[in-house]
Structure 1
Amino acid sequence: MNSCLEIPSWIFPIEPYKGESLSHFLGRFRRANYASSSELGQKTGLGGVLARWEKFRFIPPPSQKQLEALAQVVQLEVEQLRLLLPPQGVAMKHEPIRVCTACYEEKPYHRLEWQFKDTRGCDRHQLRLLSECPSCGKRFKIPALWVEGHCHNCQTQFTGMKRYQKEM
């Protein structure tokens, strides 16, 4: 990793949302700063590690040095980044990507807890999570790629999918 990172003064800092997944945050940050995943990986010195994190692959867990490098570029404190990661000992579900569209309708971002292996549904709305588009049946893309909050295949908006979520 590069210990002396040169960070452009034009970086647009993005504040993470409460409970947001690192994948979704990184996508929002990259779009706000017109940077690709590989450019952000290069700028942080983390390379392809960021692409793994966007897919909820945290084995091995991010090191302190890695988090410090990312924090420097995205202009956050390391502790803010830790909140975007699963708590120690919590297993993640890499696939499929899951969403509570009722939550998404209230505040459009991917919640980290939706990818916990033990999460069966949304405790707030008492609804099962969706893992595929009810219109076309395609699985959802990783949250880093969610630009407009819709199915990448048929463009059905997440906010219109709530009626397809079953009660828990």
Structure 2
Amino acid sequence: MSLESVKTHFKQWNREQDIMEFETSSATVELAAEAIGVIPARIAKSLSFRGEEGKAILIVAAGDAKIDNKKFRQTFGFKARMLNPDEVLEQTGHAIGGVCPFGLAKDLDVFLDVSMKRFDTLFPACGSTNSAIELTLEELSQYSFAKDWVDVCKGWQGAELEEKVIQHHK
């Protein structure tokens, strides 16, 4: 159901044909980056957390970013607690490895982390462990119906300098 629900979701913008499907797994940031041929940071990963009143929230962040518990608590007013795989499937309609903010089973609040703002385009999954789509930041915000941009991650600052050095030496 998952990949199909995402394809249906993208039909409203006539973008369903832009979904890439791979012969190999793209279930982790590293595998997705390898399948697409980009650095891991450009993979937009969707992280599912327990929200208030039993409703999950999704945080979409750059592939090299990690949740900063202190920033998360300051932003949302509660502790960052990730959902278990069964809860993720129930809340999003997507299994771990294909979770994305599109074609969701429930109406969840989606937030985009600023860690992604250093890239022109990113590659979120599309509901399966072997799919992705390339989107601009504006498209990602529009297509995910994101509530807002947040700053709840760590570990990525300064990584854009690393990327420029890597590109320069190729």
TM-score (normalizing by structure 2): 0.29
Greater C-alpha Rg: 1
The structure that is strand-richer by fraction is: 2
